[in-house]
Amino acid sequence: MTKRIVIIGGSVAGTMVANRLAKSMVKELYDGELEIILLTNSLQHIYQPGFLFIAFNEGFLEQFQKNQKELVHPKINLIIDQAKIIDVKNNKVVTEGQSLDYDFLVIATGSYPDMNSVPGLAEAGHTFYTLEGAVKLQEAMLNFKGGTLLLTIDVPHKCPVAPLEFIFMADDFYRELGIREKVKLKYTYPIGRVHSMEAIASWAVQEFDKRGIEYEVYFNLEKVDPERKIAYTMDGAEHPFDLLVSIPAHRGAQVIKDSGLGDEDGFIPTDRYTLKMEGQDNVYVVGDATNLPVSKAGSTAHYEADIVVKNIISELKGIPASHRYDGKTFCFIETGLKEATYITFNYEQPPRLCPPSEMLHWFKLSYNEIYWLAARGLL
């Protein structure tokens, strides 16, 4: 009897899982013993780190997107539709057009930045965390002739180093435009240092001081007055700005909330090692959709995908799911328009940061292309 795996979500996590499963189970797919369905609501697969480059007019959307059909293995059943309800009790996913029964389910529905999470933010602020936001911000940044550019960060958010990348790139950007002395760059962070990771925070502060970037810690945004252009924080302080760029709190996909599966933010309680949804033996969760206390990042999705694929294959073969995710994350950090560094860590190993270099910047740029190999399950 044909076993069916349904994967919901066609971004980095879902596409990798689908392709790696297909590559490993080719015979079973062609023999009809296995069916892999990748359910996604968009035919376009977008490489989200590209949004940062778009915001600085350093790249175009066409460089960062591909048609999903070009990326998936030919034996994957690609369905473009919107998942409406995930019914784990009855092992089925209900979409706008059909109902899909499954033997194994992989939830890779991601997360989204919620600009409505803070009153006034959507009206007053910009974000480079969406395509639409990056395009609008590009125009705003190019037209910005001087004043205070305030960057605020809420929790949780994907790509933990992107706020630092943004502020360093902004510093280079306005220097190149010759107006850096007219632009006050102010970076803020919710806790008592400029980044959650001490190694990054220590290094970043030195860079801030070197570049004349102002920073403020214990900054927890509570509301924004779009008319007066003032940001108000939890401690009661007022912060005037001329251009507000925000990384707001992220939420899980609507289908998770509608299905009653996630926590108050729409993220699914997940076993941190097996990556199974808590309480469900045949449901795996991967990428931003989990509630795990790990980075919401592409690399996390990549490493998690490895484990999920191996565990599903084991279970298909009647072997217990013995593979364990060790919390591994690896992140590039653009330190300007010409240099980069990286950081790596896992549940046991604290973060290690290496010195920035031009070579790593070029490697990061190369990864923008190599990513497509990873999405295809080839890396």
CB of 215 to other proteins, least distance (A): 16
Counting beta carbons within 10 angstroms of the beta carbon of residue 334, is it exposed (0 to 12), middle (13 to 18) or buried (19 or more)? buried
Q: How far is CA 243 from the centre of its chain?
A: 24
For other proteins, the binding residue among 74, 89, 235, 318 (CB under 8 A) is 235
Which of 77, 196, 282, 357 lies at the binding interface for other proteins (CB under 8 A)? 196
How far is it, in rounded angstroms, from Cα 43 to Cα 36?
Answer: 17
Question: Is the separation of the CB atoms in 56 and 80 below 8 Å?
Answer: no
Candidates 119, 146, 147, 156: give the one binding other proteins (CB under 8 A): 156
Residue 46 vs 191, nearer CB to other proteins: 191
Asked if 205 touches other proteins (CB under 8 A), the answer is: no
**DSSP designation for 178:** T
Judged by CB, which is closer to other proteins: 182, or 352? 352
Is 332 among the residues that bind other proteins (CB under 8 A)?
Answer: no
Q: Is 198 in the site for other proteins (CB under 8 A)?
A: yes
CA 70 to chain centre: 22
> Checking DSSP bridges between strand 283-285 and strand 104-107, what pairing results, if any?
parallel
Q: Which is nearer to other proteins, 62 or 235 (CB)?
A: 235
Give the contacts of 369 (CB within 8 A, at least 6 positions apart). none
Residue 218 is a binding residue for other proteins (CB under 8 A): yes
The rounded distance, in Å, linking the Cα atoms of 167 and 145 is 16
Candidates 32, 74, 178, 293; binder of other proteins (CB under 8 A) is 293
Return the closest-CA partner of residue 70 out of 34, 45, 39: 45
Per CB under 8 A, 6 contacts other proteins: no
Binding footprint of other proteins on the chain (CB under 8 A): 154-156, 160, 190-192, 196-198, 218, 220, 234-235, 249, 264-265, 272, 293-295, 327, 329, 345, 347-348, 350-351
